[in-house]
Structure formats: C-alpha cells, structure tokens
Amino acid sequence: MPSRVRRAVFTTALGLSCVIPAVQSAHAALGGSPMTPPAGASVTTQTVSPTAVLHAASGAASAASTSSSYTVRATTLGNGTVVHEYLAADGSVFGLAWRGPQMPNLNDLLGTYFPQYLAGVEAVRAARGGHGPVAVDQSSLVVHSGGHMGAFVGQAWLPQALPAGVSGSDIQ
C-alpha cells in the first residue's frame, strides 16, 4: 500500500508541476484581457487617437468624428522580443504585433483563436506547400507571421473588433 500512495502522490505532484507553470505563463489572449507581464518584462503604454493620426497624415482641418482612441501596450520580454497589444476602450485586445529574436507563444497570444489559426496555416501549407512566412487572412481573424532565427515579426487582429478609424495596417 505505501508504494501505491507514494505513486499517487508522485503522479499528482507531477501533474500539478505541469499545470502551475502553465498558469504562471498565461499571457494575453486576442479578444480578451491584456497580458500579465512575466517577471523581468518592461511595459510602456500609449493612447492613440486615429483622428490625430488622420490629421497628421493629411494635414486636414477635420477628420471623421466616429474615430475612437485606443491604447497600445508594449511589453519587452526578457528575451528581447517586444509584444504590442492594441486595446479597445473596453480593455479587450483587438490586435497584437511582435518583433524580436524569439517567437512569442502564439497559443498564449491568440487564445481561443489559436485553433482557427492552426487550421488556416494547414490550409495555406496544403495549398502551396513548404515552410516560410504564413498569412492567415479570414473574415474573423488575420495573422501574418514570418522572419528567421533571431528576427521574428508578426501581427494578428480581429477585423470585426477594430475600432472606428483603425485598420489592420495600424497593427505594427
């Protein structure tokens, strides 16, 4: 009996040791809340008004009054990769962009959209074969990812969640 108990305790401890790091490494999810910065990460926040961008770009005296501001949170991870989160007024993440020496965990970043992303990648690869940059461009999810060892880049956004005055090209 004692060996069964030890085995059960060991199995339970092993299972918990796998779950606890997963919880600690939980990040933002597209369509959800912004990431909890991991230990050692630095975060900066900036509020952006698409109206101000339109004024600056066109020099026009007025811009569409339906534009709404959004927040961009830049998190620099310990490995040097920078993840930009684009937050709507309600605090939900409508877009992500990353750049750096290592790919971020897309499963964490894309959250519930990750299976849709994988299906899109499989469809693209089945159609054209090979490896390399991937673009999943669907009505409910857009993900562009590419780069090479030491220099990865990508963007992801939810077209239906983009605030007024914001386009996918603003996700950088």
99-155 pLDDT, tens digit per residue, is 999 999 999 999 999 999 999 999 988 888 777 788 999 999 999 999 999 999 999
Average pLDDT over residues 76-83: 94
pTM to 2 decimal places: 0.73
Per-residue pLDDT, 27: 53
The predicted structure's pLDDT at residue 10: 34
Within a domain: residue 18? Answer: no
Structural domain boundaries, residue 100: 28-164
CA distances from 6 to 11, 15, 17, 23, 157 (A): 8, 14, 16, 26, 48
Model pLDDT for residues 86-106, shown as the tens digit of each residue: 999 999 999 999 999 999 999
Q: How many domains would you assign to the chain? A: 1
Is position 10 within any domain?
Answer: no
- 8 Å CB contact between 34 and 85: yes
In a domain, 103, yes or no: yes
Answer whether residue 6 is part of any domain: no
Position 87 in a domain: yes
Is 172 within the bounds of a domain?
A: no
